[in-house]
Amino acid sequence: MKRKITILAGAMLAIAVQAEVKLDILEYNRFQAVWNGKTVISPSEPGLAKSSGGVLEFFDPTTRQINKVNVLQEAAALRVLNKQRQRVSLGKPTLTVEKKDCTITYLEKYPNADACWKVVMTPVEDNALDIRVEISVNSNYWLEGFNFDLFKVAASNATADSGQLRSRINKQNREKFPPPITGPVTIVYPHGPESYVPAAVFQGGELAFGITQLDVHNTWRHDVNRLELTPNNKRTSYIVTLQSGWANTSSFANFYKHTFNARYRMRFAEPRPAGEAGYLTMVDGKDLWIDYMKELDDNMPNSKQPQFDINKNNIVICHYFTSEEMYITPENPMGYLMMSPNWKDDKWEWGYEKINSAMSNEEIKKRTGLGDENAGAPIKWVKPMAERLVREALEIKAQAVIVMKSGTHPQQGELNYIPESHLFHPSLEERATVDSPVREWDWVRGDIKVFDPQGNLIGEDNNVAIQAADKELLIPFNRGNRSRQELFIHESKVNANFDKYRGKFDIGPKNIYTLKNVAGFEVVTPQKNLMGKKTGDTASVTIFPISWNPEVREKPFKAEIKITSVERAAIDIWAKTMTDAGIELGFLVREDITAGPPWKQFDYSFDFGNDWQYQVIKQRVQWNRARFGEKCRWFYFDVFGDWTPSFVFAMLRSEYPDCFFFVEHPNDVAERVVNGWKWFGEKTELEKYVAPASLSTVVFERLLTYNQDKDKLMIKKFFNQPGYMLNVHRGGRRIIELARDNK
């Protein structure tokens, strides 16, 4: 209701002004804009930039590298390539300038490649001006980039507040409000840390104005364009320019890179009293960018936050899964703490327990729950480590545990943790026998019989393992890779005659593991038939032959297995220890442009032709939810907020309404549909205004000064406040102490 009142107040202000923007064409193809008797846009001529050229840099999504190219000044402002990636000469253009009703249109056409650009300016309501920029070439050509000079805004000695995050960075030592921007302002969206909102407000001389980028919510990738407002040397006006590179002009609505469209809205106002920091802030001047807020409310309304336990504290333990890059060795390639000879001396992991290698094993085990017998592979330490974490989560009443790192990798450079996915390192998939009925994603091991579609026994084998997971219902890992698990039977154990199915190809990768021209079997939907079974029970599952011969692969076979043991992977032991104790959990998720299991990452090229990016994100969530259950609903999206388009988050929220998605460096839309990751400090007034219902995590441990008075003041701002979750690793107990002292 507060937002609606604010927008209504802005609209009433515009009506009360009873002025309008008037556009006039002047000599030499220039135009000017006048509002309320004041010149707000000085005589200007939109057109390609007059000064450019030299060495330009652009990002090539095919090679994923920054390329440098020398460009002549006369060819730099509008750059067009043919499909052989050769620069095209456009020829001498023809410019027409037309005023129809209240609208002024600039149109410049070139004789080659059907190239043209158009700038259309239309007064809107009583104090606003719409600016549309369109650039196009024939579909047989590509737009490589362009550089436009649009106009000059007549605001002298102005200061600005921008959606650029650099104007509100919380790490800086500053007053409550950030200092005003006196230099250039860039509006580029979405661009994570660079722009929270694609808008800015200015005040100087006798004029206040705001500018907002509209129609951004179908944007597929970052850096679609950069609008820059730069004060001239004498600070008598702002020069407005627009530029983009071909690699950055793709969206669902604009895929083939031969067209470009952008739309902006400017609003003008009389100067008003300066804000708390001595200048007009965006929140104070929200009537100057109400258009963008209306777009948010219409296209990306605030989503309802998932429910969490009100009887617990607003704390999330972000655990690093005992993995440190300092412990990487050839024998310990993932850097697991308990595989290092120095595991007892890790001060970060054992901060509160205060252990060291001089202590007895009994004392260390008493304090941590782990001892020398747990040192080694994850299967040895994963359960007592999980039990220790459960004790801590229960002690501080944490909402959940998010696994932030399940391994490190020496080939990842500065990145000291593995991009998480639904695939874990083989050491975390190592299995141990459990005295338990079969649960989701457990394995059964036993003696197997295989029957053909007619019910004939065709083979027998022993010591075969089948996983109780319906992987075929999940999104495949990548194209051409089916999710189903494979089952192989030694050829000597088979008495079937497959000669009638023998085709043109002998496809068996290893003859010793094939049934003639059948390369094995795929197990489908085994979970229901295996769930709850115990050692000694018999279960049946459906299998399909793996074959290039459709007559073979489309016929269901059956396997019966007499269970001799139930096995559980280390990662499942970890997660089920948590969920059995009532602890919710989740994982870090990275997208970047990488795929593959964490121990063998590879690059994916851009694929704008489908919803690849959304499927990559959804895949990781889907697999983890299927594997670890409904209590797995807390996910930290590392670096996603920098580049991921808003509609991807909106789809994810719709798909998983009960999950918490904390996005690093979120833009405004991300915080309206998912949750933010604040790292340091409080949400700004701008963030509260744009996304009032958002829930943000704060890296509270890094805010602790261990000055008791300062820390008490800090805890009051965040502890049990509805807009914050406190992210801790080992600082949870300190937070509880501070909160208790504040009562």
> Does residue 144 sit in the same domain as residue 183?
yes
Residues of the chain falling short of pLDDT 50: 1-18, 166-168, 170-172, 174, 222-223, 246-256, 413-414, 500-517, 605-610
Containing structural domain, residue 42: 2-49+121-299
Take residue 303 and report the two structure tokens written for it.
């989503």
| pLDDT for 256 | 47
> Does residue 414 sit in the same domain as residue 484?
no
Q: How many domains does the chain have?
A: 3
> Does residue 136 sit in the same domain as residue 248?
yes
> Does residue 267 sit in the same domain as residue 156?
yes
Instruction: Give the full edge-to-edge strand order of the sheet including 199-204.
Output: 94-100, 103-109, 116-124, 128-136, 259-269, 207-214, 199-204, 159-162
> Does residue 185 sit in the same domain as residue 40?
yes
> Does residue 42 sit in the same domain as residue 186?
yes
Classify residue 351: in a domain, yes or no.
Answer: yes
The domain boundary residue, chosen from 275, 299, 323: 299
> Does residue 167 sit in the same domain as residue 38?
yes
| pLDDT for 438 | 98
**Which residue in 644, 702, 698, 700 sits closest to 673, CA to CA?**
644
Classify residue 202: in a domain, yes or no.
Answer: yes
> Does residue 563 sit in the same domain as residue 598?
no
The enclosing domain of 531 has a CATH number of 3.10.50
HSE-up of residue 291 (Cα within 13 Å, Cβ side): 26
Tokens 């026994």 belong to: 457
Classify residue 97: in a domain, yes or no.
Answer: no
Classify residue 669: in a domain, yes or no.
Answer: yes
> Does residue 478 sit in the same domain as residue 588?
no
| pLDDT for 253 | 38
Classify residue 729: in a domain, yes or no.
Answer: yes
| pLDDT for 501 | 40
Classify residue 94: in a domain, yes or no.
Answer: no
- Burial of residue 602 (CB within 10 Å: 0-12, 13-18, 19+) is exposed
> Does residue 338 sit in the same domain as residue 285?
no
From residue 257, give the alpha-carbon distance in Å to each of 53, 136, 208, 249: 22, 9, 36, 6
| pLDDT for 168 | 47
> Does residue 163 sit in the same domain as residue 276?
yes
Q: What does the DSSP assignment read for 359-377?
A: S-HHHHHHHHS--GGG-SS
| pLDDT for 25 | 96
> Does residue 381 sit in the same domain as residue 508?
no
The enclosing domain of 411 has a CATH number of 3.20.20
Q: Are the CB atoms for 546 and 486 separated by under 8 Å?
A: yes
Classify residue 517: in a domain, yes or no.
Answer: yes
Classify residue 599: in a domain, yes or no.
Answer: yes
Sign of CA dihedral 187, 189, 194, 200: positive
